[in-house]
Copies of this chain bind each other. A is one copy, B any other.
Amino acid sequence: MPPQRATLLQVAQRAGVSRSTASFVLAGRHQDMRISEEARQRVLRAAQELDYRPNLMARSLRTKVTKTIALVSDTIASDPYAGRAIHGSLAAAIAHGHLLFIGETDGDPVVEERLIADFLDRQVDAFIYASMFTQYVRLPKQLRDRPVVLLNCLIRAARPIHHSIIPDELTAARTLLEAGHRKGIYVVGHSGKGVFASRERLAGIKEELGTAGVRLAGVVDCNWWPDSAYDAVCRALADGLAPRALICVNDRVALGVYQALREAGLAIPGDVSVISFDDSELAAWLRPQLTSISLPHYELGWRAVETLLGPSCEPGITRLPMPIRSRHSVAKPAVE
């Protein structure tokens, strides 16, 4: 059996004081309570000798704060890289003296409701509401009026009432602009309504290009897999598309794009620059190695709990830079 933990009462008795006094010195409130230095020392020593550690459940019951937060996500723990968001959240929580509960809903609203109820029953102080893909979400009713920070997702609202931490989708466009691209820039990927991440991504790209006075030349529509991208790009090229730069929504799409360009006799990056998202293993295996932009999962997680637990958690949106791994698929465009 585990060793019995000493209680505050035991500490007090050993120190020859009351529980109140012991509690105050242990809480560091000996100043305002004006505990005699001598009593203080006795308590400290007793606590040390008994290896006293406060029962946090008891404390929480009294104070109404548990110093625990819950991260509820659709399916973050299962994604290869998104798990880092958990890691980041964990680290920040610990740094703030909090512990973190994790929960996965697999996108099922019923599961979600039950999960949140469970957390609430345990009196968690606050929530991180996280999404695997960057997207708009509806906040569960149970979370209204509670401290919540959104991780990798947003809530549609006239005036933001919560804080969101999302990736800054401007990186890709900026990279191409910096390389000197001004025209013939296309996005390869699905632009449909369903996939919110791609919409955000597309919006970010357009916006960044726009501020530089550049127009996105178009979108090659396909889903997020190599075959689909390959087919779509082949077809587009056959139809006369003459891209100078292709922004792929992920590395798998880039794989299909590579194939299509190669078959069309187009050199990467000589004729066409290619840039992508995810920075998966694949990016390094491709030839030429693919310049790819990853989601800053760890930072998103860290920052989310940081702002949740930080001094002032104001509504708004924090966009975190997306780390770019520059390899060999982007070059200055050839002069016309």
Complex alpha-carbon distance, A79 and B83, angstroms: 8
The complex places the Cα of A66 from the Cα of B121 at a distance, in Å, of 11
A87: chain B residues at CB < 8 Å are: 77-78, 104
Chain B nearest Cβ from A118, distance in angstroms? 6
Say which residue of B56, B79, B90, B145 sits within 8 Å of A102 (CB atoms): B90
Alpha-carbon distance between A298 and B117 when the two chains are bound, in angstroms: 25
A326 at the binding interface (Cβ < 8 Å): no
Complex CA gap A102/B66 in Å reads 16
Do residues A58 and B61 form an inter-chain contact, with CB atoms below 8 A? yes
A3 and B282 alpha carbons, distance in the complex (Å): 49
Within 8 A of B (CB), among A104-140: 104, 115, 117-123
What's the minimum C-beta distance from A152 to chain B, rounded to whole angstroms? 15
Q: Which residue of B lies closest to A98 (CB)?
A: B118
A80 contacts the other chain (Cβ, under 8 Å)? yes
- Cα distance A103–B95 when bound, in Å? 12
Minimum CB distance partner of A97 in chain B: B118
Q: How far is the CA of A121 from the CA of B66 in the complex (A)?
A: 11
Q: Is the CB of A86 within 8 A of B68?
A: no
Chain B proximity of A123: nearest CB distance (Å): 5
Complex Cα distance A80/B217, Å?
35
A114 smallest CB distance to B (angstroms): 8
Q: Residues of B contacting A60 with CB < 8 Å?
A: 57
Q: A61-B57, A83-B86, A122-B68 are in contact. Are A2 and B145 (CB under 8 A)?
A: yes
A181 at the interface (CB under 8 A from B): no
* A145 contacts B78, C-beta separation under 8 Å: no
Task: Tell yes or no: A253 within 8 A of B by CB.
Answer: no
**Interface residues on chain A, number (Cβ under 8 Å):** 47
Q: Mark A56-75, 1 if CB is under 8 A from B, else 0.
A: 11101100001010000000
Q: A203: CB under 8 A from chain B?
A: no
CB distance A99 to B78 under 8 Å?
Answer: no
Partner of A282, one of B84, B101, B285: B285
The reply to whether B99 and A86 form a contact with Cβ atoms under 8 Å apart is: no
Asked if A90 contacts B103 (CB within 8 A), the reply is: yes
Q: State whether the Cβ of A160 lies closer than 8 Å to any Cβ in chain B.
A: no
A249 within 8 A of B: no
Is B80 touching A121 in the complex (CB atoms < 8 A)? no
Chain B residues contacting A81 (CB-CB under 8 Å) are 80
Q: Tell whether, in the assembled complex, residue A99 and residue B83 are in contact, meaning their CB atoms are under 8 Å apart.
A: no
Query: How many whole Å from A69's CB to the nearest CB in chain B?
Result: 11
Residues of B within 8 A of A53 (CB): 117, 120-121
The contact sample of 25 A-B pairs, CB cut-off 8 A, is: A56-B122, A57-B60, A57-B66, A57-B123, A61-B61, A68-B122, A77-B86, A77-B87, A78-B83, A78-B87, A78-B298, A79-B83, A80-B80, A80-B81, A83-B86, A90-B102, A91-B104, A94-B115, A94-B118, A99-B119, A99-B122, A101-B101, A281-B281, A281-B282, A285-B285
Residues of A within 8 A of B (CB): 1-3, 53-58, 60-61, 66, 68, 77-84, 86-87, 90-91, 94, 99-104, 115, 117-123, 145-146, 280-282, 285, 298
Given A86-B102, A282-B282, 6 other A-B residues pairs in contact with their CB atoms under 8 A: A53-B120, A57-B122, A78-B84, A86-B86, A90-B102, A281-B282
